[in-house]
């Protein structure tokens, strides 16, 4: 199971929200590069970098953070938050990100996303399925659609999408455990799904449960920042 620490950015700073609420923001570090280097020094190879300003504005805001982390670390970065234009996807990949993270565009503008998959390759995207009460949420979780999670994922897997992560918004940032039953259901409904879990992870026991359920990866945020999980404790999950 791939361990993927998260760095969420607001105003160029490393923050965490609770349940996607921009009003429940906590700043953990003024320097995201410092955090990324700590992850790299611990032997971690992946990074989930999210431009929360971009997600809210529907346009990337924190280009400088992406450039700095890609140029000064060897981490395999996936970057998203407000990717709505083809030029921005190209810029993300040209800057050195391994994957472009998308969510809202795949829900709201399916034809455009299909064009991106054709142009850049489906393997270059990390598709985020954010869920509220079983329905897809978009635009930084500020809007809930009427589209069900299973149908959404099935449609995109058919287009060749390989990398998928799912966040239950009700769990995110609360350190009360991941949406294990949701992931088990998705993995049962969609054979072959390579699913990365996100949200609610509070300790190593959650990682063990996700691995046992068949998740291929886990995005970890607040549990690291609140010292519920030490970076040295993640060694047993690293290849």
pLDDT in tens, 84-112: 999 999 999 999 999 999 998 999 999 99
The model's pLDDT over 171-219, given as tens digits with 9 standing for 90+, comes to 877 888 999 999 999 999 999 999 999 999 999 999 999 999 999 999 9
CATH topology for 2-229? TIM Barrel (3.20.20)
- Active-site residue set: 8, 130
Q: In whole angstroms, what is the distance from residue 175 CA to residue 135 CA?
A: 22
Alpha-helical runs (H) found in the chain: 32-41, 52-57, 63-72, 86-95, 104-108, 110-120, 149-157, 180-189, 204-213, 222-225
Contact 236, 207 (CB under 8 A): no
CA-based R_g, the chain, Å = 16
Q: What is the pTM of this model?
A: 0.94
């Amino acid at each position: 199971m791939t361990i993927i620490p998260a760095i969420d950015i607001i105003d160029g700073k490393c923050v965490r929200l609770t349940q996607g609420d921009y009003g429940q923001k906590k700043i953990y570090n003024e320097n995201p590069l410092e955090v990324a280097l700590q992850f790299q020094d611990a032997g971690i190879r992946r990074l989930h970098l999210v431009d929360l300003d971009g997600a809210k504005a529907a346009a990337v805001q924190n280009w400088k953070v992406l450039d700095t982390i890609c140029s000064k670390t060897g981490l395999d970065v996936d970057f998203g938050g407000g990717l709505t234009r083809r030029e921005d996807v190209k810029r993300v990949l040209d800057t050195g990100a391994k994957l472009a993270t998308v969510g809202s565009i795949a829900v709201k503008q399916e034809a455009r996303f299909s064009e991106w998959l054709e142009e850049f390759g489906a393997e270059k995207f990390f598709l985020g399925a954010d869920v509220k009460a079983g329905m897809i949420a978009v635009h930084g979780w500020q809007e809930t659609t009427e589209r069900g999670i299973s149908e959404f994922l099935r449609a995109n897997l058919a287009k060749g999408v390989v990398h998928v992560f799912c966040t239950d918004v009700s769990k995110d940032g609360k350190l009360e455990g991941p949406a294990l039953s949701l992931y088990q259901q998705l993995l049962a409904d969609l054979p072959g799904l390579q699913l990365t879990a996100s949200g609610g992870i509070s300790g190593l026991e959650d990682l063990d449960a996700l691995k046992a359920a068949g998740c291929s990866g886990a995005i970890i945020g607040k549990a690291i920042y609140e010292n519920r999980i030490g970076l040295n404790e993640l060694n047993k999950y690293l290849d």
